[in-house]
Structures are given as structure tokens and as C-alpha cells.
Amino acid sequence: MLERIRIVLCETSHPGNIGAVARAMKTMGLGRLVLVNPKDYPSADATARASGADDVLATAEVVSNLDAALAGVSYAVGTSARLRRIPMPQLDPRESARQLVAEAATQEVAVLFGRERSGLSNAEIDRCHALVNIPANPDYQSLNLGAAAQVICYELRMAMLAATATSGTEEAVAHQPATGEHLESFFGHLEAALLEIGFLDPKQSQSMLRRLRRLFQRARPDDTEIHILRGILSRAQAAARKDPEAG
Ligand code: SAH
């Protein structure tokens, strides 16, 4: 199941950190590394810090945006050095690893790591279902990127070992949540439809859309449910076109 877990590094500045993450991953049995716009890569520093894990670097995907990094992913968590005032689940590494490993039994999942200086952007956090914080010294909470990845990968390994030990009793997972791409195109449709029927005020649309995004990310709709929701939106749009006063 660890092969369905990808580690995504967003705009890493120091190539040495990329190597350190590759090594952290390999020691814990993970292999899928995705680099979004790394500042300086490939690099001899990355290879040196990866030590014997240069195979993880060799197969790392370098992509230019988050959509590409999250292709096929239906559950993503973002790691953050500080707890943020955001209405979304905030988990510790152990809880999040349990959830990630359970999801990875049937689907692609991702763990996002932010920039050394500024962490993850709001747009990146918007793509996540939960935030993960390593509960560190409150006076000094920011771990080095490679060190943070090591903690998360260790917890993933422990969760995988625990899940394997109990896999005889594992229930079949019937629910298959839609991938991020399908959810994103639904959000695009939702925004267009809510503007068209006059529900959204263009001035406040971003905060409203962010709330709606959280609602659907919590609900984890599957493809059939997305199809139904989009059908409702299309009908509402058609009705508003026939009777512009109706909205
Ligand atoms: N100044 C940045 C810190 C970035 S550290 C900030 O305040 O967000 C670089 C990355 O390492 C973070 O984006 C996160 O992915 C990871 N990281 C560092 N410390 C962490 C912690 N205590 N818990 C979870 N992730 C952490």
C-alpha cells in the first residue's frame, strides 16, 4: 500500500533537502517522490544527501504545477509547521498516517511538504483534506524539511505494519471517492453555476467557495454523486437561462 502514497515537495529551495527526503522515504519503504518546481534540481547536492537512495531521485517526477503532482489522487494531506486557523481537520502524524494508509489500500494518496521559508500556500492547502502538524516545541516548531519527512514516513511505515498485521479482518472498502481532478472540475462547475443563478456575490465568492470546498472535501463524494450534483447544477443553470428573474 505504500506504493500508492506519493510525497510531494512544493518549490523546494535547497537541493540537499530533496536528497534528504529521498533518503527518509527509502529507509521507510516509500518510493514515489514528486517535485513541484524545485529551485535547483537535478543537483549534485541532492544526490550526495540521498546517499544510497539515489534510485528514489532517479524516478522522481518533476512537474510544473500542483494539478500534475496530484494527478489521480483522491486524498491529500498538507504538512504544516504551525497549526493554522483554518476550518479543516488538523491531525498529528500518527492519526494522519493511519488515515493515509487506510485510503492507500484502494486509492492514490499524497502528502504535501512546503517551502523552507514559507511552507505551503493557501491554494495548496485548499487541495488538502487535512493538515498534519508534528507537535514540536511550541517555541521552535519548524523542523528541517528532511527531518519532517522522516517523521511522517516513519509514521506511515508504522501504520502500514499495523494495518498489515490486522489485514485479515480488513473490511472491503466499498466507497471510492472521486479523484482530485474530478472534484476540481466539479468546483469549477459549482462556481459557474452559482454565479449564473445569482447565488454568488462575485465580491465574496472566494470565501463562500472555500467553505463549499471544505464541505465537499469532508463528504468525499464518489463519481456517481458528483455526476448527480453536476446534473442538479446544469438543471439550475438551464432554469435560470429560461427565467432570468428566477435567481
Ligand atoms: N516557515 C515555514 C516553515 C517551513 S519548514 C512555515 O511556517 O510554514 C518546511 C516544511 O517542512 C513545511 O512546509 C512542512 O512541510 C514541514 N514541516 C516543518 N516543521 C513541521 C512540523 N512541525 N509539522 C509538520 N510539518 C513540518
Residue 223 pLDDT greater than 90, yes or no: yes
What separation in Å is there between the alpha carbon of 74 and the centre of ligand 1? 23
- CA-nearest residue for atom 20, ligand 1, is 81
Cell for 109? 494518496
pLDDT digits (tens, 9 = 90+) for 189-206: 999 999 999 999 888 888
Q: What angle do CA 85, 91, 92 make, to 5 degrees?
A: 120
Interval 95-151: pLDDT, tens: 999 999 999 999 999 999 999 999 999 999 999 999 999 999 999 999 999 999 999
Q: How many CB atoms lie within 10 A of CB 131?
A: 21
Residue 78 Cα to ligand 1 midpoint, Å, equals 10
Residue with cell 458528483: 226
In tens, the pLDDT along 34-50 reads 999 999 999 999 999 99
| Mean pLDDT value of segment 58-82 | 97
Mean pLDDT across 53-69: 97
**Cα 9 to ligand 1 centre (Å):** 11
Size (the chain), residues: 247
Q: What is the per-residue pLDDT for 45?
A: 97
**Which of 12, 77, 80 has most ligand 1 atoms within 8 Å of CB, for mutation?**
80
Task: Please check whether residue 243 is in contact with residue 200, taking contact to mean a CB–CB distance below 8 angstroms.
Answer: no
For residue 80, give the 3-state DSSP assignment: coil
Ligand 1 test: best mutation among 77, 143, 150, 151, most atoms within 8 Å of CB?
A: 143
Confidence (pLDDT) at 49: 97
CA distance 225 to 216: 11
Average pLDDT over residues 91-98: 97
CA–centroid distance, residue 119 to ligand 1 (Å):
6
Amino acid at 62: V
Q: How much is the pLDDT for 244?
A: 72
Looking at the CA of residue 78, tell me the nearest atom of ligand 1.
Answer: 15
- Which of 71, 101, 81, 75 lies closest to 149 in space, CA to CA? 81
Q: State yes or no: pLDDT of 167 exceeds 70.
A: no
Pocket around ligand 1: residues whose beta carbon is below 6 Å from it?
Answer: 79-82, 113-114, 116-120, 132-134, 136, 141-143, 145, 148
**Cell numbers found for residue 59:** 524516478
- Residue 20 reports pLDDT greater than 60: yes
What's the Cα-to-Cα distance from 14 to each of 48, 144, 213, 226, rounded to whole Å?
Answer: 13, 11, 33, 40
Tell me, letter by letter, the H, E, C secondary structure of 172-226.
Answer: CCCCCECCHHHHHHHHHHHHHHHHHCCCCCCCCHHHHHHHHHHHHHHHCCEHHHH
pLDDT in the model for residue 133 = 97
